[in-house]
């Protein structure tokens, strides 16, 4: 134990900042969809943002806020497309209002789109704290570094994992338990593309696993439930489980 103490430099971490980030994220999303709430809380939200960046020792906080705020309209437009995709694809959805107010998958996407913007501004730690809040709240773990296109729909949400270097293009629909992950976990691979690319108009059903940075799921394909994919799939394919430890691929 003494040897360990000699090798480790103990440092204080602002763990209580997690609560501040949780509150900030909630208020940010509320303001994004409720103009009246935004007007009442705009100054407080900005103040909290500046406080968080100060605690994280991130410089030029005012500029970061200005750049972030200027993207709110753009992010809202993206999220409106996501909500429309949810209503269009889910037969259980009775209205757009229901999507905005009650769908955990939509909430997870909202936090992702906000945290992704912060990551693009080279802000460290905060985007990951926001994504982990969404993970805790919805059961969906989307790394803010993933690149996700328009009209993205997550149904049921629970147990979904989308890795850092995943690329998801437009009109993609995924269900609960889906993993878009890396085939190997090594620190030396940190700067490489480790997660798959999902092309336009792909549907991925429950508990499917797609692994590998070189894996591309071709456009208009369907990945069935419980399938494990570690090789690229051509466009217009249907992939289902044929038998244990085997997959069956069918071209339309």
Return the pLDDT at 15: 80
Residue 34 is predicted with a pLDDT of 96
Q: Are 135 and 32 within one domain?
A: yes
Total tally of structural domains belonging to the chain: 2
Judge if 111 and 221 occupy the same domain.
no
Other Cβ atoms closer than 10 A to 118: 22
For residue 11, what are its two tokens? 């440092």
On whether both 118 and 175 belong to a single domain, the answer is: no
Do residue 129 and residue 152 come from a single domain?
Answer: no
Judge if 55 and 78 occupy the same domain: yes
- pLDDT at 13 exceeding the cut of 80: no
Cα–Cα distance for residue pair 135/245, rounded to 1 Å: 30
Confidence band for 2, pLDDT divided at 50, 70 and 90? low
pLDDT of residue 3: 60
Mean pLDDT of the chain: 92
Answer whether residue 248 shows pLDDT above 70. no
Read off the pTM.
0.91
Q: Which residue has the tokens 């069918």?
A: 250
Q: List the domain range (segments joined by +) for residue 184.
A: 146-252
pLDDT tens digits along 92-131: 999 999 999 999 999 999 999 999 999 999 999 999 999 9
DSSP the chain: -HHHHHH-------TTHHHHHHHHHHHHHHHHH-HHHHHHHHHHHHHHHHHHHHHTT-S-HHHHHHHHHTTHHHHHHHHHHHHHHHHHH-TT---HHHHHHH-HHHHHHHHHHHHHHHHHTT--SHHHHHHHHHHHHHSEEE-TTSEE-SS-EESS-TTEEE-TT-EE-SS-EE-TT-EEE-S---GGGTTS--S-EE-TT-EE-TT-EEE-TT-EE-TT-EE-TT-EE-S-B-TTEEEEEEETTEEEEEE-
User: Tens of pLDDT along 34-52?
Assistant: 999 999 999 999 999 999 9
Q: Any idea how long the chain is?
A: 252
pLDDT over threshold 90, residue 244:
no
User: Would 1 be classed as within a structural domain?
Assistant: no
The angle that helices 126-138 and 17-33 make with each other, rounded to 10 degrees, is 80
Domain membership of residue 4 (yes or no) is no
Same domain, 22 and 114: yes
pLDDT band at 196 (very low <50, low <70, confident <90, very high): very high
pLDDT tens-digit series, residues 163-186: 999 999 999 999 999 999 998 776
């Amino acid at each position: 134990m003494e040897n360990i103490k000699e090798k480790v430099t103990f440092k204080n971490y602002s763990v209580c900042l997690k609560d501040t980030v949780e509150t900030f994220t909630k208020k940010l999303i509320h303001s994004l969809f409720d103009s009246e709430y935004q007007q009442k809380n705009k100054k407080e939200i900005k103040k909290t943002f500046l406080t968080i960046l100060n605690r994280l020792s991130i410089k030029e906080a005012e500029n970061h806020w200005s750049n972030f705020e200027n993207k709110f309209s753009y992010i809202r437009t993206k999220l409106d497309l996501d909500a429309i995709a949810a209503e269009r694809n889910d037969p259980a959805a009775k209205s757009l209002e229901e999507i905005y107010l009650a769908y955990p998958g939509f909430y997870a996407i909202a936090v992702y789109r906000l945290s992704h913007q912060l990551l693009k501004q080279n802000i460290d730690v905060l985007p990951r704290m926001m994504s982990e809040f969404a993970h805790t709240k919805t059961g969906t773990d989307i790394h803010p570094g993933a690149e996700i296109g328009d009209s993205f729909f997550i149904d049921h949400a629970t147990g979904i994992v989308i890795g850092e270097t995943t690329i998801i293009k437009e009109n993609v629909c995924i269900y609960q338990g889906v993993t878009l992950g890396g085939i190997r976990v090594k620190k030396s691979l940190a700067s490489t593309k480790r997660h798959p690319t999902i092309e336009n108009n792909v549907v991925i059903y429950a508990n499917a696993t797609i692994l590998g940075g070189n894996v591309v799921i071709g456009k208009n394909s369907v990945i069935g439930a419980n399938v494990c994919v570690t090789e690229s799939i051509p466009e217009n394919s249907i992939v289902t489980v044929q038998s244990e430890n085997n997959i069956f691929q069918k071209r339309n």
